[in-house]
């Protein structure tokens, strides 16, 4: 799948980056800009895909790259929050509880973020678990960004599910990679090490906790 798609009028990348910087979320601006640049530099062999969307902040950085390169961003998230977002955990936000179900629901906030940025024609949102969509997916990816649940089981599952869909020469981006346990959780770091130690990837220049790998041809 090449990057020759035609779109309705969408904001330019400058406006999308500004919207991303203003959107709710946990990604620092300098890492978001690095994500945008890495996605823009990915080979023109397919779409960009994000595992774990929260409220859409990183999706807009990817949308800015997609707007320039003529592709789309697919985001996959069940929108029920990760473990750390559940009641009683560190990052729980009670305003995100759906009173009808009693469960975390970030989908309304995500849709609002994407709509307010005018990016609905660039961002294709799939509401599902990542591994569920991966079983149905058959399009090579130019860029894969993994920023889902931060447990070892889920992080390794995301990598196993989606790495086979990354095209040769494509870029794998992993967020919240902290080699020092004092700086943050270790599941994304161990996922990163699993990918790098496989021999299937070469490391690119990352930015702080955003690590970048290129799948070998």
Write the DSSP symbol of residue 197.
H
- Answer for the pair 82, 28: CB distance below 8 angstroms, yes or no: no
Is 150 an active-site residue?
A: yes
- Whole-angstrom distance, CA of residue 143 vs CA of residue 198: 18
H helical segments located in the chain:
13-22, 29-41, 57-69, 107-116, 130-136, 152-162, 187-197
Name residue 202's beta-bridge partners. 214
- Answer for the pair 144, 189: CB distance below 8 angstroms, yes or no: no
CA distances 89 to 81, 83, 176, Å, are: 11, 8, 18
- Whole-angstrom distance, CA of residue 120 vs CA of residue 117: 8
Q: Single out the catalytic residue among 79, 150, 165, 175.
A: 150
Round the CA-based radius of gyration of the chain to a whole number and report it. 16
Nearest Cα to Cα of residue 91 among 178, 22, 158, 184 = 184
- Residues serving a catalytic function are 150
């Amino acid at each position: 799948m090449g990057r020759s798609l035609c779109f309705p009028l969408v904001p330019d990348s400058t406006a999308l980056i500004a919207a991303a910087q203003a959107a709710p979320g946990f990604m620092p601006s300098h890492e978001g800009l690095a994500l945008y640049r890495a996605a823009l530099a990915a080979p023109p062999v397919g779409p960009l895909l994000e595992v774990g969307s929260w409220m859409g902040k990183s999706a807009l950085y990817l949308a800015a790259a997609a707007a320039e390169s003529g592709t789309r961003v697919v985001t996959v998230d069940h929108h029920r929050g990760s473990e750390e977002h559940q009641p009683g955990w560190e990052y729980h936000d009670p305003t995100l509880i759906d009173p009808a179900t009693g469960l975390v629901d970030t989908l309304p906030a995500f849709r609002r973020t994407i709509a307010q940025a005018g990016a609905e024609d660039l961002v294709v949102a799939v509401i599902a678990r990542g591994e569920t969509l991966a079983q149905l997916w058959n399009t090579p990816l130019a860029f894969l960004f993994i920023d889902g649940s931060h447990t070892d089981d889920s992080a390794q599952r995301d990598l196993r599910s989606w790495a086979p869909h990354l095209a040769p020469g494509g870029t794998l981006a992993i967020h919240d990679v902290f080699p020092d346990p004092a700086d943050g959780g270790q599941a994304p770091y161990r996922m990163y090490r699993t990918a790098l130690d496989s021999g299937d990837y070469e490391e690119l220049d990352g930015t702080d906790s955003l690590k970048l790998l290129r799948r070998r041809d």
